[in-house]
Structure 1
């Protein structure tokens, strides 16, 4: 596991963007695993700037998002489909047919989970998986206690996770109680993982990850078993 301490949020975003840009310039058909939330917004801004400056093209690349809420449509402004469109996809040349986000508004959600892993396998797997981390150590929506061997699956969201995501909804009552998420095994199947950690609220999670303890009580600790993980951390946001 490689550790990089950035001097600022902007620095963290630029370091991560450089890794993504180098991968795309090397392999035009790269497959990226994307994440949502406030932490990667700066990275996405850097990628959009690079595209608009003519530095790179996403025309042959593909992306798979980590997760989506169950019970809301892609058009919902709180959905991760909407977040990704607003922060990245509407501003670059990645083809719509190459953009994958888990389906959270289908009647057969279990099939949607199975199909998602099959789609990832069909394109040869994910080259770089982007992650954030929850205050309780969750990655994707894999909450404490999640078995490491799970692939894409349906999860019950903890109260702390729902409260953290309340900022995207009118009230806590509007925050969904379930989500579809890449499982830890799906994440571990990626060739390379980039974990962004930003802000004082994530300090404890960062220190626990750095301790090296591996336990299902702290889902991000599974990353110690991966051969290529880069953690980019800044204590400010």
Structure 2
């Protein structure tokens, strides 16, 4: 794991956008496969990428994208569907072809069959080149709640009461939050060639500590990222508050480039 402690949420978003821009420019006309998360954590990064598209011509025209998850029972045009969220907050503002922004079908008549189909579609696209993640207060990534299998593929998942409560701020009441979702599993996520996770705010500090410095455990699903060969964790000062080795993480960043001198 590479741990980067940014001075604030704005810098954190810019650093994550840097990684996406690197992959987009490296892949060029071959086209990058992007893994996109929803929720509040990545929104500032999406705004930064939109600004770079408009200001410096960063192009997404050759890319395709896969979303992490979707609520079961919500139509694609529902104001809280992730299909709609990603378009309103990101993809409708850049030049990625809309038909290549893919997500699980929350209205599929057979959600389990839809999960298998969606998982296969990621593999058919050649896999994800770079995946952006947020982290829940209980350590979930995607909708992989505590106790999720590290070998899990895209599947139907039941949300915890805490996640329902956390997400109720986007709905009129907690009763309106769907309890069941389609989500990429931990093994599916871990197959991405590069992963960048962004976490900001003190509310994520304990989850960040458990993910980075705690044991690899199903109690903190995000801890499986310790086993990935290319993961970058970008946090602001508040989210880094409970980390033990902050001086070492900062020292590592300060020494970058010295090996090549």
- Range class of TM-score, shorter chain: over 0.9
Q: TM-score, normalised by structure 1?
A: 0.98
Aligned with 1:198 (options 197, 200, 223):
200
Residue 143 of structure 1: how far off its partner (Å)? 0.3
Kept in 1: contact 2:216–2:226 (CA 8 A): yes
Counterpart in 2 of 1:10? 10
Kept in 2: contact 1:152–1:183 (CA 8 A): yes
RMSD across aligned positions (CA) = 1.1
Counterpart in 1 of 2:258? none
Choose between structure 1 and 2: higher helix proportion.
2
Counterpart in 2 of 1:62? 64
Kept in 2: contact 1:12–1:234 (CA 8 A): yes
Distance in 1 between the 2:103 and 2:142 partners? 13
Query: What is the count of residue pairs matched by the alignment?
Result: 237
Distance in 2 between the 1:42 and 1:104 partners? 26
- Structure 2: state its 5+ residue gaps: 240-261
- Structure 1: state its 5+ residue gaps: none
Q: TM-score, normalised by structure 2?
A: 0.89
Kept in 2: contact 1:68–1:104 (CA 8 A): yes
Kept in 2: contact 1:9–1:236 (CA 8 A): no
Kept in 1: contact 2:196–2:232 (CA 8 A): yes
Distance in 2 between the 1:49 and 1:155 partners? 35
Distance in 2 between the 1:11 and 1:33 partners? 21
Counterpart in 2 of 1:113? 115
Residue 97 of structure 1: how far off its partner (Å)? 2.1
Counterpart in 1 of 2:230? 228
1:1-237 equivalent positions in 2, closer than 5 A = 1-28=1-28, 29-236=31-238
Residue 235 of structure 1: how far off its partner (Å)? 3.7
